[in-house]
Amino acid sequence: MEIALPKGKRPVFTIFGGVVFGALLAGAGPQIPNIFDRPSCGETVMKAVSSEKPVNGAYNCFDSDMQQGLNSAGIDSDGAFATRVAKNGTYHYLHKTEDGGYVYEYDRPQSPHNRWQAAVSALKKRNLAAMWEEVTGETQRSTSKVYTFYFDGDGKITAVL
């Protein structure tokens, strides 16, 4: 019995594409249910925390008790939230806790610069170690904070730890 194998480069690309797709599916597959499970206010508030520009709806994402606490700190709107709380940085969702909290990590660079431009510059100099440090953000000397949000039935934030 002979099996005719196609000749040329197309099967190699098909196999390579299948391997890449399988790796993406294995890596991203477990995260798909988490994407649909998260309340939108968590993302809205983290966008507001990580940008110095006002983000519409951030203040309204807090329940009335939390808003009273924010008011006592002089935060009564999205603009005031941006002025008093926000600093440019990046954030990403980590996981959901067993007690129903949603955990986000926020990184704020202490030495901010355009890391992609610096990575290209290091690559042109053939310095792969420096390029990798730029891509991973090590050269920005970020400080990290972890926030856990708890929500009520309406999707409003009731507690931040």
3-state secondary structure the chain: CCCCCCCCCHHHHHHHHHHHHHHHHHHHHHHHHHHHHCCHHHHHHHHHHCCCCCCCCCHHHECHHHHHHHHHCCCCCHHHHHHHCCCCCEEEEEEECCCCCEEEEEEEECCCCCHHHHHHHHHHCCCHHHHHHHHHCHHHCEEEEEEEEEECCCCCEEEEC
* pLDDT score of 63: 96
* pLDDT score of 104: 96
Residue range 129-134: mean pLDDT, rounded: 87
pLDDT in tens, 73-111: 999 999 999 999 989 888 999 999 999 999 999 998 877
pLDDT in tens, 20-78: 666 555 655 555 555 567 889 999 999 999 999 999 999 999 999 999 999 999 999 99
* pLDDT score of 94: 93
The count of other CB atoms within 10 Å of the CB of residue 89 is: 20
Domain residues of the chain, as ranges?
Answer: 9-38, 39-160
Banded pLDDT at 133 (limits 50, 70, 90): confident
Banded pLDDT at 158 (limits 50, 70, 90): very high
Residues in the chain: 161
* pLDDT score of 19: 59
**pLDDT of 141 over the 80 cut:** no
The count of other CB atoms within 10 Å of the CB of residue 57 is: 14
Banded pLDDT at 128 (limits 50, 70, 90): confident
